[in-house]
Amino acid sequence: MVEIQNLTKYYGLHPAVQDISFTVGDHEVLGFLGPNGAGKSTTMNMITGCLPSNSGTVLVDGYDIAKDPMEVKKRIGYLPEIPPVYPEMRVRDYLTFAAGLKKVPSSERKKQVENAMERLRITDVQRRIIGNLSKGYRQRVGFAQALLGNPKFLILDEPTVGLDPTQVMEVRNLIQDLAREHTIIFSTHILAEVTAVCQRVVIINKGKIRAVDTIENLERSTGGDLRLKLKVEGDMTKVSAIIGDVPGVKAIEEVSVESAGVNAFTVAVESEDVRKPLMTALISADCMVLEITAVHSSLEDAFVKITGTGRQSREDAFEELGREMDAQREAEEAAKAADAGDGKEDEN
């Protein structure tokens, strides 16, 4: 088990991480989420002992990272966002070197290196210089070094950066496979990956914990209104009026033209029970319902609501638009004033 207790880190007077606490159970895959600058990488560096904290405790299998750093590091495999590889070394030589740094017994190094290369599908490039590899292959080499030493805990910071869709799927499957033997803390900006491999998530923003819960609970508690998506054949105005009159319909949030005579509607409703009276009302009015589906909230919805990133982005956009309009208005007024001045000079 990994236990984070009241962890705090300052950079000068700036609090990067403020009094955060959470635990990670054995064989759990925990998603560690937050917007850029939230404190994710700083926290991971403190958990692994790469960065000292100002206060708080990190316990790994009962060992304190501050008091027993070597015991903790024996138990952790770490893949930072930028893979810690030597570009001038060949893949196999680098992994053998990394195994030595991790004090893997010499009798086991070859087997562990070959196993790591096989799991990350890099055996075919083992003799190549790392600096000549693509970004995706360098990422996989970094992931392979994290597996050396058979660590009980894996800390993965953006492990799929630079990978193509097929490689992302392979890494996703690898993480699920590794969870049988390892405890994993997994950070990424791709929320679909978190949904696919994690049971529980921690959301951090501005250095503070904002939520610790299962994905299902977060989606349920922060999702807001239930929505239905409909595709209906018929006049848009007529269909909109019918939908708006059905009890339980809260609002028509979006309307778009799907094809000739067919429109798509996104409707906020009180419950899924509204579907039946909604279909009855439309069919009774000779409007053909081609599709109706319930749209449940996603982890992305929960993330945006908890961190406020979506709202802030919209506010920033409106502020920027306002500044542009003010600047344009001032420029137009200045131009008019200049024209008026030129006219008076001509008269004179």
Given a contact cutoff of 8 angstroms between Cβ atoms, the answer to whether 149 and 77 are in contact is yes
* CATH number corresponding to 225-296: 3.30.70.260
Q: Which two tokens stand for residue 326?
A: 């003010």
pLDDT at 348 over 70: no
- Sign of the alpha-carbon dihedral angle for 193, 198, 200, 204: negative
Pairing of strands 262-269, 208-214: unpaired
Look at phi and psi of residue 317 and say left if phi exceeds 0, alpha if psi is from -120 to 50, else beta. alpha
> What residue type is 206 in one-letter code?
K
Burial 88-105 (b: 16+ CB within 10 A, else e): ebbbbbbbbebbeebebe
Q: Which two tokens stand for residue 34?
A: 């937050």
Q: Which two tokens stand for residue 327?
A: 């600047």
Rg (the chain; Cα; Å): 28
Chain segment 235-294, per-residue pLDDT in tens: 888 999 999 999 989 888 888 888 888 999 988 888 878 888 999 999 999 999 898 888
Q: Can you tell me which residue has the tokens 């209104």?
A: 225
DSSP codes of every residue in 252-290: EEEEEEEETTEEEEEEEES-GGGHHHHHHHHHHTT-EEE
At residue 336, the pLDDT reads: 65
Distance (Å, whole) CA 31 – CA 191: 9
Fold assignment, 2-221: Rossmann fold (3.40.50)
Say whether 343 sits in a helix, a strand or coil: helix
User: Quick one: angle between helices 91-101 and 106-119, nearest 10?
Assistant: 130
Given a contact cutoff of 8 angstroms between Cβ atoms, the answer to whether 297 and 227 are in contact is no
What predicted TM-score, i.e. pTM, was given to this entire model?
0.68
At residue 311, the pLDDT reads: 42
At residue 330, the pLDDT reads: 63
Chain segment 68-110, per-residue pLDDT in tens: 989 998 899 999 888 889 999 999 999 999 999 999 999 999 9
Chain segment 51-63, per-residue pLDDT in tens: 999 999 999 988 9
Given a contact cutoff of 8 angstroms between Cβ atoms, the answer to whether 277 and 246 are in contact is yes
At residue 223, the pLDDT reads: 56
Domain ranges across the chain = 2-221, 225-296, 316-347
